[in-house]
Amino acid sequence: MLEAVQKLEKVGVCHYDITERNVLVDANGVFRIIDFGSAFQPDFLTEMNIWRHIYSFSPEYSTQPPELSVQNGIIDNLDTVYCVNHTIDVKREYKLMQTYLNIPIETQRNELLSFWQSQPVGKPTSWVPFFQTYWTKWDSWAIGILFLKLLNRLFLIPTFQKVTWRPHQNKLRSILKGLLPSDPRLRMTAGDALALLTRS
């Protein structure tokens, strides 16, 4: 999946909707990402077409990066601090991050709040620059969330921890921690994560 998203990054495409239902695995174990109906090319975003990619405030949507959840709340005229707190509180995956990656929920809350405090005050007149700046971090968040959910299920299999997880846990934890910061400025792209994965 990281390879697939890295290829999209190289050609300037954000899938923008990587979820369990949009990932297939073939008989050879190769992942296929489908349904490009929400995809966009950031270089071609304009004030006229960007609204196709902006949704209502729905932070429970787990593979939507937290900064996008907050952004949607701001567009809905909600308070930024409320949006940050509500996003952190309703995304169940933050509890998984705390359990498997030892990232306290408050650390993620502070990261997200710090990101939004660094942004210009008030609702911007244009969201195009925001999309063009952070789009490479959005599909990588979704991959990190999917992997975290898979990990949660695999831990139910006793042999997984002993045989598969323990020998690789340091590298896998590093990759997941890189894919899942709440501040997109700290988040790896798929290409960054792939480089770390293939490093000996």
Residue 199's pLDDT is 82
Residue 141's pLDDT is 97
Residue 200's pLDDT is 59
Residue 78's pLDDT is 94
Tens digit of pLDDT per residue, the chain (200 long)?
A: 999 999 999 999 999 999 999 999 989 988 899 999 999 999 999 999 999 999 999 999 999 999 999 999 999 999 999 999 999 999 999 999 999 999 999 999 999 999 999 987 666 778 999 999 999 999 999 999 999 999 999 999 989 988 888 888 999 999 999 999 999 999 999 999 999 988 85
Residue 122's pLDDT is 63
Residue 121's pLDDT is 66
Measured between alpha carbons, how far is 198 from 22 in angstroms, rounded to an integer?
A: 25
Residue 29's pLDDT is 85
Domains of the chain: 2-198 (1.10.510)
Written as six digits, the tokens of 171 are 């590298």
| DSSP secondary structure of the chain | -HHHHHHHHHTT-B-----GGGEEE-TTS-EEE---TT-B-GGG--TTTGGGG-----TT-TTS-HHHHHHHHHHTT--HHHHHHHHHHH-THHHHHHHHH---HHHHHHHHHHHHHTSPSS--S-SHHHHHHHGGGHHHHHHHHHHHHHHHHHTTSHHIIIIIIHHHHHHHHHHHHHH--SSGGGPPPHHHHHHHHH--
